[in-house]
Amino acid sequence: MARTLAERFEEKVDRTGEHHVWLGATNPDRGTGRLKVAGRNTTAHRVAWELAHGEAPQGTKILPCPVEPRCVRLDHLTIEHTTRGPVQRSARGGGSKREVGPGTWELAASAGIGSDGKPKRVFRRVSGTKQEAARALAELVAEVGDGWDVPDRSQKGVTVGHLVDGYLDHLRDHKGRRHSTLVRYRGLADRWIAPHLGSRVADRVLPDDIERALGAMRSAGQSQSSIHQTFTLLNGTFKWARRNRVISRNPMIEAEEPRSTAIRREVIPPDIESLLMLLAAAKDVDVEFGLLTHLGAVTGMRRGELAGLRWRAVDLEAERIEVATTVNDAGGTVVITDSTKTGKPRLVGIDAHTVGMLRSHRRGMEERAAVCGTALVEGAFVASRSVDGSVPMRPEQLSRKMLRLRRRLGMDAANFDATLHALRHWAQTTLTEAGFDSRQIADRGGHTEALMKSVYIHRTDESEQRMTSHLGSLLATPPSTPEG
């Protein structure tokens, strides 16, 4: 039995995503879908429109989706008439446009039903070619074509600064963002967003305004990470405001993130001799500090994870540690979280020497508590300034101790980083050079294999020499002489 055109068409369409994508043949130049109808090649988006509405009137063009040429979703298509002046309507719910002057277009899109019960439409004028106007119309439809009301007049004067404040509250109260992330975002907002955009009316901000603000960061030599985080904060803020009908348009849709001019400084882990000297000196300064620096090197744990290590997570018999708690004191507020940076705990093995250090330290803490007439609390921290172990050491305190130790040892001008974070890099690099499986090393460090290879692995002088010797030895071998 012969299949109908509609059946043939639906077999070639994937409607699972935002765009209903044509999976059949495409035009090699335009990228639009095509199929044969009554012996003639026809565009897939035109067939989609005519299957829904009947044959298009004479002189009417069905323009494809400006974002995805293969898309055949009706409300992503636009109708264009060959005559100039009349309204050029798209499919139902797709908005309309008309040329009101040379290169000037008036766009219109349905904004649903207002509080007065009447249909509302949003209008916008743009300049450019027909294709650019179609792209702008698609953006307008995406902004207001979801049936929401036009933003209230009471929201018309809301500033970017107010939006950022509201969005950060949203991230804290409803999204559970980490304390350090919120502190970082607040710092970026105060330093870079507030001076350039904070007092601007949000609905009047253009993509160019966004790029100028981010360009100021680039000119000041800010890192790509800082620029990206600021871009992410603004993007999230405007999306959240648009979703909640506070603004009518999102300028981030067309804004581009600039590239930083700053040169990224690589963390250089210490060599083994320098590391041993550093660990010995740390033990002399403070027993607990010495233990945590040793653990940092032997486990590769993060600074906040070291500060958050509890005795209940240490299994001395099985010789392993469960990394499950972090301490963060960004912004001066101490926050203890029973989760890691990745959101899941991990097990890390420890050697017999480290087990001995931990046993000795545990006895010392218990004896100190007994002398003071108390005992270690349930969930006591391995490193604590309180007698009962209830209060963890602050990560910033650990960093300050390391800084003072580095200066005392004259390592400020050394060709490596004498920091807690550098110990983590040392552990990853050393295990990799020893030939251990990269997936297992990444799991031990609590990050992805790709991140480990791009950030945590470094060439040491020894590895560089081994690679050089290996290649040199191969090239130093004289070629074999053919017999005869």
In angstroms, rounded to a whole number, what is the distance separating the alpha carbons of residues 49 and 45? 6
Q: Find the helix or strand (DSSP H, E) in which 21 lies.
A: strand 21-22
Q: What's the rounded mean pLDDT across residues 373-380?
A: 94
pLDDT tens for 304-352 read 999 999 999 999 998 889 999 999 888 788 888 887 777 778 888 888 8
In angstroms, rounded to a whole number, what is the distance separating the alpha carbons of residues 422 and 26? 53
The answer, yes or no, to whether residue 91 has pLDDT greater than 60, is no
How many residues does this entry show for the chain? 484
For all residues of the chain together, what is the average pLDDT? 81
* pLDDT score of 85: 45
* pLDDT score of 469: 61
* pLDDT score of 332: 80
User: 232 Cβ partners below 8 Å, 6+ apart?
Assistant: none
Answer yes or no: are the C-beta atoms of 239 and 232 closer than 8 Å: no
Neighbours of 414 (CB within 10 A): 15
User: The whole model's pTM is what?
Assistant: 0.53
Choose among 429, 450, 430: nearest CA to 439.
450
Residue type present at position 253:
I
Q: What's the rounded mean pLDDT across residues 149-170?
A: 78
Q: What are phi and psi of 60, to 5 degrees?
A: -105, 135
Choose among 109, 3, 93: nearest CA to 52.
93
Across-strand partners of 43?
34
Q: What's the rounded mean pLDDT across residues 24-45?
A: 83
Q: What's the rounded mean pLDDT across residues 124-141?
A: 82
pLDDT band at 357 (very low <50, low <70, confident <90, very high): very high
* pLDDT score of 444: 83
Encoded tokens for 418: 């004498």
In angstroms, rounded to a whole number, what is the distance separating the alpha carbons of residues 72 and 316? 63
Residue type present at position 26:
T
pLDDT band at 193 (very low <50, low <70, confident <90, very high): very high
* Percent above pLDDT 70 for the chain: 82
Residue type present at position 132:
E
Q: Scanning the structure block, which residue is given the tokens 């649903």? A: 112
Question: Strand 119-127 vs strand 314-315: parallel, antiparallel, or unpaired?
Answer: unpaired
* pLDDT score of 214: 94
pLDDT band at 70 (very low <50, low <70, confident <90, very high): confident
What domains sit in the chain, N to C, each tagged with a CATH number?
5-144 (no CATH), 154-253 (1.10.150.130), 272-462 (1.10.443.10)
The answer, yes or no, to whether residue 457 has pLDDT greater than 60, is no
CA distance to 30, 59, 410, 454, per residue, from 39 (Å): 21, 21, 84, 55
CA distance to 203, 206, 245, 448, per residue, from 153 (Å): 11, 20, 11, 47
The beta-strand segments (E) located in 114-232 are 119-127
Specify the 3-state DSSP secondary structure of 320.
strand
User: Can you say whether residue 31 is alpha, beta or left, with left for phi > 0 and alpha for psi between -120 and 50 degrees?
Assistant: left
Encoded tokens for 118: 């009447």
Looking at mean pLDDT, say which of 47-61, 93-107, 245-259 comes out highest.
245-259
Q: Report, in this order, helix, strand and coil percent for the chain, each rounded to 5.
A: 45, 15, 40
The answer, yes or no, to whether residue 127 has pLDDT greater than 70, is yes
* pLDDT score of 87: 45
The answer, yes or no, to whether residue 455 has pLDDT greater than 60, is no
Which has more confidence, 190 or 66? 190
* pLDDT score of 144: 60
Q: Strand 119-127: give its sheet, edge to edge.
A: 88-89, 96-101, 104-113, 119-127
* pLDDT score of 304: 92
Q: What are phi and psi of 25, to 5 degrees?
A: -65, 150
CA 340 to chain centre: 17
Residue-by-residue DSSP string for 30-93: T--BEEEETTEEEEHHHHHHHHHH-SPPTTEEEEPPSS-TTB--GGG-EEEESSSSS-EE-STT
Q: What's the rounded mean pLDDT across residues 295-299?
A: 90
pLDDT band at 373 (very low <50, low <70, confident <90, very high): very high
Q: What are phi and psi of 185, to 5 degrees?
A: -60, -40
The answer, yes or no, to whether residue 196 has pLDDT greater than 90, is yes
* pLDDT score of 92: 44
Give first-to-last CA distance, the chain, whole Å: 76
Q: Scanning the structure block, which residue is given the tokens 């992330």? A: 181
In angstroms, rounded to a whole number, what is the distance separating the alpha carbons of residues 34 and 318? 65
The answer, yes or no, to whether residue 367 has pLDDT greater than 50, is yes
In angstroms, rounded to a whole number, what is the distance separating the alpha carbons of residues 134 and 129? 9
